[in-house]
Structure 1
Amino acid sequence: MSQFTFDAEVRTEIGTGASRRLRRAERLPAVLYGADEAPVAITLDHNKVNQAQELEAFYSQILILNIDGKKVEAIVKAMQRHPYKPKLLHIDFQRVKRGEAMTATVPLHFINEEDSAGVRAGGTVMHLVNEVTIRCLPQDLPENIEVDTLNLNTGETLHLSDLKTPKGVEFPNLEAGSDNDLSVVSIQPPKGGSDEEEGDTEADSEQTQE
């Protein structure tokens, strides 16, 4: 499991002008909220965070914020990027409270695609969602959830309820009823149908001509 730790400082200057000055100094404005505590405006080293956010686990793991010597556990809830430069503009962090269930978004990892029954038959894998919302205790938070497509045939779809979750992990969507059982991945049949179907079509054509 990945571990991210960032030094942060409480900031007293708030506003667009103050944030612009921070960014020029390679500091990243952010806010920390949640866990029944007041929000705190902070700053972090922009380059360190910008480098870390290139890793998938940055978005789905508990981060350690060392704020003026006090360590706080948090997850990323929102991020604002520059429209065309490789820079971050602002991050929202949410505190994590040990022993209290939390919701988070984690990526899906699709495995055995090339060996799946549908692909071997000429089908094409279609990813319908790439991340899902889960609920769990902080210590049970996974970096990702695997989606095994090995036994998936052409024309078939795996839904959220078909996925195997790690111990202690739940999908809030499923508690809202079957209408929220998201389609996750499917395998489309090959274009033009199977060879057998093409043969039947040719035979029908010949009979028609006769």
Structure 2
Amino acid sequence: MSEVKLAAETRTEFGKGAARRIRRDNKVPGVLYGHGSDPIHITLPGHDLLLALRTPNVLLSLDIEGKNELAIPKAVQRDAIKGFLEHVDLLLVKRGEKVSVEIPVHTEGELAPGGNLLEHVLNALPVEAEATHIPEAVTVSVEGLEAGASVLAKDITLPNGVTLAVEEDAVVLQVLAAQAEEAPEGAEEEAAEAAE
């Protein structure tokens, strides 16, 4: 997993008005916290942060006025309509430190024939991993699974150094039987009349 370097500035203005001014300058207000230290209120470059956050659990290397800090995103607030970043909470991490994160679950392969449906019970798998080696995702093969089959957390192969942060018997994926559609009442009679 690569680090994304961002230049951050500390900020002393707070509140809605200050946040609006920051966003108008194409920057994003944020808070950096963790390791028992006082929260640091920062401003980050908007476009660079938006690109960095496309990678799940991205590791950010922040240059805060000459001091370098490592952080991972904990909470990201976006505008509900336009989607731009409004605020970000970042958690301080250290190299070698284990952190709890959720990683996306991707699937590959085809289910057994029959029109069955694959349900993602967990879209993201809670795991513990070293802060500098967080996997971007896990891939699970669903090749040939039939209705009623489930994939449990313990069935997923994790990279070295990554451990589950959820019960081993937690259902991650399950295959649901295809539902036969019932014709509405009178449909057969209408079809027979139309055929005549």
Partner residue in 2 for 1:196: none
Give the CA deviation at 1:128: 1.8
Work out whether 1:96 is the aligned partner of 2:84: no
**For residue 36 of structure 1, what is the amino acid of its counterpart?**
G
Work out whether 1:15 is the aligned partner of 2:15: yes
Larger strand fraction of residues: 2
> How many angstroms apart in 2 are the aligned matches of 1:122 and 1:73?
47
- Change in Cα spacing, 1:97 to 1:52, as seen in structure 2 (3 Å) is closer
Aligned with 2:73 (options 72, 76, 95): 76
Partner residue in 1 for 2:3: 3
Give the CA deviation at 1:121: 4.1
Partner residue in 2 for 1:168: 161
Aligned with 1:145 (options 138, 148, 152): 138
The sequence identity of aligned pairs, in percent, is 34
> How many angstroms apart in 2 are the aligned matches of 1:5 and 1:67?
11
> How many angstroms apart in 2 are the aligned matches of 1:46 and 1:100?
28
RMSD after superposition? 2.0
In 1, are the aligned partners of 2:52 and 2:58 still within 8 Å (CA)? no
Note the residue ranges of structure 2 that are not aligned, 5 or more in a row.
182-196
> How many angstroms apart in 2 are the aligned matches of 1:97 and 1:137?
9
Partner residue in 1 for 2:193: none
Give the CA deviation at 1:38: 1.8
> How many angstroms apart in 1 are the aligned matches of 2:41 and 2:132?
26
In 2, are the aligned partners of 1:5 and 1:65 still within 8 Å (CA)? yes
CA deviation vs aligned residue, 1:124-161 (integer Å, no higher than 9, x gap): 22222211211122233111111221252221111112
> How many angstroms apart in 1 are the aligned matches of 2:125 and 2:177?
26
Partner residue in 1 for 2:187: none
Give the CA deviation at 1:20: 1.6
**For residue 128 of structure 1, what is the amino acid of its counterpart?**
V
Larger helix fraction of residues: 1
3-state SS of paired residue (2:51): helix
In 2, are the aligned partners of 1:60 and 1:144 still within 8 Å (CA)? no
**Which structure 2 residues correspond to residues 116-127 of structure 1 after superposition, within 5 A?**
116=111, 118=112, 120-127=113-120
My pick for the range that moved more, 130-139 or 75-84, is 130-139
Work out whether 1:183 is the aligned partner of 2:183: no
CA deviation vs aligned residue, 1:76-130 (integer Å, no higher than 9, x gap): 0001111212311100000112222211121111122x2x4x2x34322222221
> How many angstroms apart in 1 are the aligned matches of 2:62 and 2:96?
19
Give the CA deviation at 1:9: 0.5
* TM-score, normalization by structure 1: 0.78
- Change in Cα spacing, 1:139 to 1:86, as seen in structure 2 (3 Å) is closer
> How many angstroms apart in 2 are the aligned matches of 1:85 and 1:190?
37
Partner residue in 1 for 2:194: none
> How many angstroms apart in 2 are the aligned matches of 1:164 and 1:40?
38
Partner residue in 2 for 1:192: 180
Aligned with 1:134 (options 114, 127, 140): 127
Note the residue ranges of structure 1 that are not aligned, 5 or more in a row.
194-210
